[in-house]
């Protein structure tokens, strides 16, 4: 699955494309957004900066999903949970940055004032510290994934059973976060963010900085995934995907390999969630819905599993179509998504990358 065009993407052509992407993110976009006048046809509006930043966050999640599904053969239908946990962990800090500028002019978030809470719950401890919440972005999804994966992989849970359990996990978490007593804003979640590091979020400069950081995170994720998958570790992962029993007979402890890549994938999703929240401006339990996790799998399937580049393409294509349909024909988006998945399954079983490989 990773031959032909994939190899070229890892060669000189791939580095050239990565360099062009870097120039577009760090040079072209800032100039077109910040320097070009708003009435110019070449101006990139704040809407497009936010939209492209959001899609890049989704692309990071798609690469993380490809690591566990495309290379280790672990189909997760709960990656939306890790994405949301990272968003909530950083969202706590953003809510504390509002300070007394909320509707009730109190030092606590508005939803806590409305519920007549007198003090912050235990999980909000030190949430006014940027670095503490940044650590939580990594630790919370990673720890949950490690504990869950440890028991699941040691119990030899795999295949459709593992997928169903991950979906049940994210559904249970969604129901938990919908409760006001949990301390995370109930069904409304976190919103109305004002500042980050005491810098206003709504300014064009801050939005562009968040956009550039997201682009850097996407490039870093892609390079890390490439390094892992082309190393001896990646070859063992591919062998586990294709014939786990044979790998075990060769003396490898497959549990450790699967647990590492599973936990790493969850941490990457948490980082993507943390980058997503200040750009989009909201995080609520809806991000944990099983449908969102299924959509992540569709991104990877559309782009092509086990290619790294394919999930980026899939995330861009599907979310670009989603933006179009939700603005023009919102009631037809789910039908369009189902049609995309059916067409890819029937005619592009290896995704867009598989189609490009045949044409190459």
pTM value is 0.93
Quickly tell me which residue has 């200040």 as its tokens: 278
The predicted pLDDT at position 6 comes to: 43
* Tokens 């993407």 belong to residue: 9
With beta carbons less than 8 A apart as the criterion, state whether 272 and 58 touch. yes
The whole-angstrom separation of Cα 276 and Cα 356 is 30
Return the sign of the alpha-carbon dihedral for residues 121, 133, 208, 200.
positive
Query: What does the pLDDT profile of the chain (360 residues) look like in tens digits?
Result: 444 434 444 677 778 889 999 999 999 999 999 999 999 999 999 999 999 999 999 999 999 999 999 999 999 999 999 999 999 999 999 999 998 898 889 989 999 999 999 899 999 999 999 999 999 999 999 999 999 999 999 999 988 999 999 999 999 999 999 999 999 999 999 999 999 999 999 999 999 999 999 999 999 999 999 999 999 999 999 999 999 899 999 889 999 999 999 999 999 999 999 999 999 999 999 999 998 999 999 999 999 998 899 999 999 999 988 888 888 888 888 888 888 888 887 887 788 887 776 665
Q: Supply angle C-alpha 184, 186, 190, rounded to 5.
A: 55
Closest CA to 80 of 279, 260, 295, 224: 295
- What tokens appear for 168 in the block? 């049940």
Report DSSP state, residue 307.
Answer: -
Q: Residue 9: phi, psi to the nearest 5?
A: -70, -25
Q: What phi and psi, each to the nearest 5 degrees, are found at residue 169?
A: -60, -45
Q: What is the pLDDT of residue 359?
A: 64
**How many residues in total does the chain contain?**
360
pLDDT at res. 10: 60
Collect all residues with Cβ–Cβ distance below 8 Å to 107 and sequence separation of at least 6: 99, 100
- 83 φ/ψ angles, rounded to the nearest 5 degrees: -60, -45
250: number of Cβ within 10 Å: 11
Distances (CA, A) of 95 to 102, 210, 317: 10, 17, 32
Q: What is the structure's pLDDT at 2? A: 42
> Residue for token digits 């800090």?
93
């Amino acid at each position: 699955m990773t031959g032909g065009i994939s190899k070229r993407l890892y060669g000189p052509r791939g580095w050239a494309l990565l360099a062009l992407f870097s120039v577009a993110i760090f040079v072209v976009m800032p100039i077109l957004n910040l320097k070009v006048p708003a009435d110019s046809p070449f101006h990139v509006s704040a809407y497009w900066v936010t939209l492209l930043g959001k899609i890049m966050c989704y692309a990071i999640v798609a690469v993380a999903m490809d690591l566990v599904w495309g290379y280790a053969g672990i189909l997760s239908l709960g990656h939306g949970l890790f994405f949301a946990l990272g968003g909530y962990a950083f969202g706590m800090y953003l809510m504390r940055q509002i300070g007394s500028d909320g509707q009730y002019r109190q030092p606590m978030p508005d939803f806590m004032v409305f519920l007549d809470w007198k003090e912050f719950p235990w999980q909000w401890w030190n949430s006014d510290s940027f670095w503490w919440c940044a650590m939580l972005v990594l630790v919370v999804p990673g720890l949950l994934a490690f504990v869950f994966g440890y028991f699941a992989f040691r119990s030899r849970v795999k295949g459709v059973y593992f997928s169903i359990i991950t979906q049940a996990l994210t559904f249970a978490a969604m129901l938990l976060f919908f409760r006001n007593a949990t301390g995370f804003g109930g069904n409304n979640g976190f919103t109305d963010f004002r500042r980050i590091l005491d810098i206003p979020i709504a300014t064009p400069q801050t939005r562009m900085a968040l956009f550039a950081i997201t682009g850097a995170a996407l490039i870093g994720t892609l390079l890390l995934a490439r390094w892992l998958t082309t190393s001896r570790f990646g070859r063992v992962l591919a062998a586990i995907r294709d014939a786990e029993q044979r790998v075990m007979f060769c003396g490898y402890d497959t549990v450790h390999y699967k647990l590492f890549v599973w936990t790493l994938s969850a941490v990457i999703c948490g980082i993507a969630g943390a980058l997503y929240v200040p750009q989009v401006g909201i995080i609520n339990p809806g991000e944990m819905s099983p449908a969102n996790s299924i959509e992540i799998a569709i991104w990877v399937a559309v782009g092509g599993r086990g290619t790294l580049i394919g999930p980026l393409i899939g995330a861009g294509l599907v979310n670009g179509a989603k933006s179009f349909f939700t603005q023009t024909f919102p009631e037809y988006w789910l039908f369009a998504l189902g049609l995309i998945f059916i067409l890819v399954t029937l005619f592009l079983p290896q995704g867009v990358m598989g189609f490009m490989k045949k044409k190459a």
